[in-house]
Amino acid sequence: MQPFTSHAGIAAPLLRDDINTDQIAPVLHARGLQEDYKTMLFHRARRREDGSENPEFVLNKPQFRNAGILVTGHNFGAGSSRESAVWSMLANDIRVIVAKSFADIYRENCLQNGLLPVVLEANDADAFIARVVAADGGAPFTVDLVTQRISGPGGADLAFEIAAADRTRLLEGLDDIGLTLKYMNDIIRWEQRAAMAQPWLQSAHDSR
Amino acid sequence: MQAAPPRTLFDKIWDFHCVGQRADGRDLLYIDRHVLHELHAHHAFTKLQKQQRKVHRPDLTFAVQDHTVATQPGRDDDTNPSGSAFIKAMRDGCERSAIRLFDLGDPDQGISHVVAPELGIVLPGATHAVPDSHASTVGGLGALAFGCGTSELAHILVTQVMALKRPKRMRVRLDGHLGPHVNAKDVALRLIAELGVAGARGHAVEYAGTATRSLPIEQRMTLCNLNIEMGGRSGLVAPDGATFAWLYGRPYVPQGAQWDRALKVWRTLQTDDDAVFDREVGLDCSSLEPQITWGTDPSQVVAISGRVPKPSAVEPARRAAAESAFAYMGLAPGTPLAGLPVDRVFIGSCTNARLPDLETAAAVVRGRRVAEGVTAMVVPGSSRVKREAEAAGLDRVFRDAGFFWGESGCSMCAGGNGDRGQPGERCVSTTNRNFENRQGPKVRTHLASPATAAASAIAGRITDVRRLMVGAA
């Protein structure tokens, strides 16, 4: 996993709650194993009915075309567990999402891929949103995971909280499977205990 | 000796399965049953190959083809052209890793959340993971399930554990008696309406109360299936005599002396009397009407006798979403739901395509015809459900009425197999998400129960099934 230390980029405001993974990474009719995640991101919102670009959508506006930070409302990433909703962000060089809250599975998928999910408390979130809107893509913000601060135009640095373990994993770009493999002996011992205590959990046979 | 502190059912299952704590503070939770599907598994298989890592417990891992499979009779790998690569990659991956695959043509093929319980692969008190957000459907049997992403799927394949933060505990008490033609789908929609689409975020939910206890197992699964639509990753119902009777004799369920031994353990799978939940909510179901969504998220719900809300009746924070939903759904505030003309009806999905769902719908359809101009489909949740329905003559009931009777799969729930509506169509659907464009570009989805969907197909309009069935036997 690509480590995350700090990311400077234009912050694009997508100020709605409950944006779901069907919106972020829609299931498109024609698809294959090698998908174009760059094009997939907000595929429908980015286009008008005739297929041409929708100039109203925030990521299509000239000042936000190369946004590196997405700023949004509550419960971002609701719905399906599809990880393409994270991969499509990364394919567009968006490495930070600042939200009022995240859907549980989406947040986990972010952590698995080095996409930094930042949650700001209500007051801070509103203040930050105001600054993002005022900046209007004119100057970048920097999100620094080492110092846990967001800096940029329109005011003082904002501190944000993140669980220490999540922070370390992102900073070091740790391989999640590798982390767990260190406990393989414990896992095997658990299996041996479970095979005694509840053997039906440790085997799954078709009795037919 | 001090008595053990009271624990919730969730805590009992979690504590038993907790292998230990990882250096980063996450609990390593053993996964007893892991079920894959073809839409997401190939990414994980490719990753494992690249990393030269092996599947730790192929014997506890199962796989289904469900998301991309065609529903047309006589289907094969290529009937849905955009699914064939996924289907073949799944087959190859399962063969390499010796994973039992319920493939196209297998008599046990179907939607993972339907197949795993009906074969008894998932058991009370077991932990379960699927790379799909509706994994907690099997919570209806008293299993603790987690929907997961593709990276987590690969993690489970290699280690058989998930690295999780312990969620908070929430209890939903459902009391009262459900009226005629009202079922778990209506209860779940009302709950989502009351609690919101993030109401259970961060929580594992236990459904309790007299109304929950009186639900048949399949409806408990419907209830737990929709848990994610209020933001909860895991939801379950404590197993009871009905659960054990339902499971007895199913192919993967322990047999003989093992069954007796399992039963002793399963009978302890209850929340202790004084156990504390982080959050408790309740709903009296006695006066509940059939429910239906009017908007574009599963919390935008009204009773079947209700109207699209006026913006002034929507809480301010939700008003912009409501305005956007009015436009997408082509509905003016104040419009009654009942009577809206429908173009399409879909009965299927992991939410509502088990045998009793189809029986309920067939009871409404029997002896009637789908209204002129309505495209109506039934897609059984598994090939086994399909066979059992056919043995009971339900396929004839649906076909005679003008329904399409399909082969099993996820079908129009997410449209990943090409089954989709046409732009602008209004569709009453027994599925779980009414998101914009989900069932096809510009398709307007109304989520409802199988009975409401069937009644609406017959009337050609959104219909209160209780009115249609007045005077009927």
Closest approach of chain A CAs to the CA of B456, in angstroms? 26
Under the phi-then-psi rule, with left for phi > 0, alpha for psi from -120 to 50, and beta for the rest, what region is A42? left
pLDDT of residue B169: 98
Q: Which residues of A touch B202 (CB under 8 A)?
A: 104
Structure tokens, A76? 């971002």
Both tokens of residue B20? 């230990």
Nearest to A22 among B51, B318, B435 (CB): B435
Confidence band (pLDDT; 50, 70, 90) for B473? Answer: very low
| 8 Å CB contact of B155 and A29 | no
Q: Do B33 and A18 touch (CB under 8 A)?
A: no
Structure token digits, residue B421: 């509506």
Give B199→chain A minimum CA distance, Å. Answer: 10
How is B318-340 classified by DSSP, letter by letter? HHHHHHHHHHHHT--TT-BSTT-
CA distances from B372 to B186, B342, B439 (A): 27, 10, 21
- Residue pair B130/B148 in contact by the 8 Å Cβ criterion: yes
**Does A46 contact B at CB distance below 8 Å?**
no
Is B253–A207 a contact, with Cβ atoms under 8 angstroms apart? yes
ipTM, two decimals = 0.96
Average pLDDT over residues B384-407: 98
Could you read off the pLDDT of B118-171 as tens digits, one per residue? 999 999 999 999 999 999 999 999 999 999 999 999 999 999 999 999 999 999
Query: What is the rounded distance in angstroms from the CA atom of residue B353 to the CA atom of residue B374?
Result: 20
Write the residue in B121, B152, B251 that is nearest to A112 by C-beta. Answer: B152
Phi first, then psi: what are they for B69, rounded to 5°? -75, 140
User: Using CB atoms, which residue from B126, B148, B436 is nearest to A105?
Assistant: B148
pTM: 0.97
Nearest CA in chain B to A184: B159
| Cβ pair B296, B187 in contact under 8 A | no
Whether A142 has its CB under 8 Å from any CB of chain B: the answer is no
Check residue B294 and report its DSSP letter. Answer: -
Mean pLDDT of B359-380: 98
Q: How many helices (H) and strands (E) does chain B have?
A: 16, 19
Residues from chain A contacting residue B414 (CB–CB below 8 Å):
22, 27, 80
Q: Is A193 on the interface with B (CB under 8 A)?
A: no
Q: Is A51 on the interface with B (CB under 8 A)?
A: no
List Cβ neighbours of A38 (8 Å cut-off, separation of 6 or more): A88, A91, A92
Using one digit for the tens of pLDDT, what is the confidence trace for B61-91?
A: 999 999 999 999 999 999 999 999 999 999 9
Q: Residue A114's closest chain B neighbor by CA?
A: B151
Is the per-residue pLDDT at A1 higher than 90?
no
**Contact assignment for A198 to B265 by CB distance below 8 Å:** yes
- pLDDT score of A30: 66
**Range B384-388 average pLDDT:** 98
Model pLDDT, residue A174: 87
Which DSSP symbol is given to B411? G
Smallest CA–CA separation between A33 and chain B, in Å?
Answer: 7
Helix axes A104-112, B150-159, angle to 10 degrees: 70
Q: Are B20 and A33 an interchain contact pair (Cβ–Cβ within 8 Å)?
A: no
Q: Which residues of B touch A163 (CB under 8 A)?
A: 25, 165
Determine the Cα–Cα distance for residues B288 and B213; give it in Å rounded to an integer: 17
Q: What is the mean pLDDT of chain B?
A: 97
Q: What average pLDDT does the segment B413-428 reach? A: 95
Query: In this complex, which of B123, B159, B438 lies closest to A177 when CB atoms are compared?
Result: B159
B161-164 sheet: strands from edge to edge: B18-21, B27-30, B161-164
- Among B85, B151, B155, the residue with its CB nearest the CB of A113 is B151
Interface check for A179 against chain B (CB to CB < 8 A): the answer is yes
Q: How confident is the model at residue A2 (pLDDT cuts 50, 70, 90)?
A: confident
Q: Which of B201, B226, B227, B410 to mutate to test the interface with A (most CBs of A within 10 A)?
A: B201
Ramachandran category for residue B120: left, alpha or beta (phi over 0 → left; psi -120 to 50 → alpha): left
From the candidates B151, B350, B413, which should be mutated to test the interface with A, based on the most A CB atoms within 10 A? B151
Pairing of strands A6-14, A141-144: antiparallel
Integer angstrom CA distances of residue B262 from A188, B104, B251, B267, B384: 22, 33, 15, 9, 26
Q: Return d(Cα B111, Cα B134) in angstroms, integer.
A: 11
3-state secondary structure chain A: CCCCCEEEEEEEEECCCCCEHHHHCCCCCCCCCCCCHHHHCCCCCCECCCCCECCCCHHHCHHHCCEEEEEECCCECECCCCCHHHHHHHHCCCCEEEECCECHHHHHHHHHCCCEEEECCHHHHHHHHHHHHHHCCCCCEEEECCCCEEECCCCCCEECECCHHHHHHHHHCCCHHHHHHCCHHHHHHHHHHHHHHCHHHCCCCCCC
Cβ contact (<8 Å) for A200 and B123? Answer: yes
Q: What is the DSSP letter of B258?
A: H
**B163/A179 CB distance under 8 A:** yes
Q: Which of B152, B227, B350 to mutate to test the interface with A (most CBs of A within 10 A)?
A: B152
Q: Judge whether A60 and A1 are in contact, CB under 8 Å.
A: no
pLDDT in tens, B293-351: 999 999 999 999 999 999 999 999 999 999 999 999 999 999 999 999 999 999 999 99
Enumerate the residues of chain B whose CB falls inside 8 A of the CB of residue A167. Answer: none
According to DSSP, the residues that pair with B415 across neighbouring strands are none
A180 interfaces chain B, CB cutoff of 8 Å: yes
Contact flag A20-B123 (C-beta cutoff 8 Å): no
pLDDT tens string A92-149: 999 999 999 999 999 999 999 999 999 998 889 999 999 999 999 999 999 999 999 9
Question: Would the CB atoms of A177 and B158 count as touching at under 8 Å?
Answer: yes
